[in-house]
Amino acid sequence: MPETDPTAPEPSSPSAPAFSSPPPSAPVPSSPSAPVPSSAPSASVAAAPYPFEFSLDDTALVIIDMQRDFVEPGGFGESLGNDVDQLRTVIPVLAEVLEKCRSAGLLVIHTREGHLPDLSDCPPSKLARGNPSQRIGDPSPNGRILIRGEKGHDIVPELYPIDGEPVIDKPGKGAFYATDFGSILAERGIRRLVVTGVTTEVCVHTTVREANDRGFECLVLSDCVGSYFPEFQRVGLEMIAAQGGIFGWTAPASAFLSALAGQAHTHVPGQQPLTALADPVRAG
Ligand code: TIU
């Protein structure tokens, strides 16, 4: 990549208007969307570094960016030089987790990384970063890369959202930045997140770190998150649970599903139907 002069004006796409970052938020209260402790958790997952406890009514399954642009050839992931097959291995395991969570009445939230067609929400630095073979907004077999409304931007069919499941469209790597993810969690009394999706060291990590700082407890399912790099997958998971769970917990899907199965048997559907709370929300 050619040397760049840091004092030179930002390169810009001819059709892209000036990037406008979201307005600075009002002074941050001590904890803007801080989860309020509810009743004692009723389920326990065998996790690292110690058991992760949760209840059906205070926990959401979060599926991060399982979009064609990351897991299919010709999209954003491949344009960055990655082998997308590495990520597809999570799909069948995650599909099972999704089905069991839906059956148990757990809130399910999906995210998608992407940008407005005019790229006004895409920082020029993100557009230029990495000197990719194709840039965000360029044409691809699945439409314009990482642009909302295009086929490549959408979620893979195996994990497609159903009515009532919020879909958070985010311009960044983290799910909280410039979205209403935090307010949706607060409205629904969610304080724990079971986190899945791609990629482990980028959007999963960023979201878990953002959530951790906001007071949420995160369990990352180790075989439901994927990286283009096996080493990053291993180390990325270790980082989360290190230092006594500095960012959260990790466990395989099987451990979470065992705990969920115990809950599903004791849960009385209809008493507090979560689906009634889950109005269709297409955030963003
Ligand atoms: N490049 C990479 O590993 N990931 C991303 O750009 N986005 C997400 O992780 N979703």
Higher per-residue pLDDT: 39 or 90: 90
- pLDDT tens column, 255-271: 999 999 988 655 444 33
Q: How far apart are the first and last CA of the chain?
A: 34
Q: Give the pLDDT band (50/70/90) at residue 249.
A: very high
Mean pLDDT for the stretch of residues 24-46: 66
Higher per-residue pLDDT: 43 or 14: 43
Distance from the alpha carbon of residue 40 to the mean position of ligand 1, in angstroms: 35
Higher per-residue pLDDT: 30 or 271: 30
Question: Which of ligand 1's atoms lies nearest the C-alpha of 65?
Answer: 10
Supply the residues annotated as catalytic. 65, 170, 203
Q: Are 118 and 178 in contact (CB under 8 A)?
A: no
Distance from the alpha carbon of residue 247 to the mean position of ligand 1, in angstroms: 19
Q: What is the pTM of this model?
A: 0.85
Distance from the alpha carbon of residue 138 to the mean position of ligand 1, in angstroms: 17
Per-residue confidence (pLDDT) for residue 101, from 0 to 100: 98
- Domain assignments of the chain as residue spans, ordered by start: 58-283
Q: What is the dihedral of CA 238, 61, 170, 135, to 10 degrees?
A: 60
Judge whether residue 10 has pLDDT over 60: no
Distance CA 240, CA 267 (A): 30
Mean pLDDT, rounded, of the chain: 86
Instruction: Specify the CATH class of 58-283 in words.
Output: alpha beta
Question: Above pLDDT 90, what percent of the chain?
Answer: 72
The CA radius of gyration of the chain, in Å to the nearest whole number, is: 19
The residue nearest atom 1 of ligand 1, judged by CA position, is 77
Mean pLDDT for the stretch of residues 171-198: 98
Q: Give the pLDDT band (50/70/90) at residue 75.
A: confident
Q: Which of 28-42, 67-81, 237-251 has maximum average pLDDT?
A: 237-251
Distance CA 146, CA 281 (A): 21
- pLDDT tens column, 117-170: 999 999 999 999 888 888 999 999 999 999 999 999 999 999 999 999 999 999
Q: Is the dihedral of CA 148, 151, 152, 154 positive or negative?
A: positive
Per-residue confidence (pLDDT) for residue 278, from 0 to 100: 32
Question: Which of ligand 1's atoms lies nearest the C-alpha of 77?
Answer: 1
Per-residue confidence (pLDDT) for residue 265, from 0 to 100: 54
Distance CA 78, CA 226 (A): 15
Per-residue confidence (pLDDT) for residue 23, from 0 to 100: 60
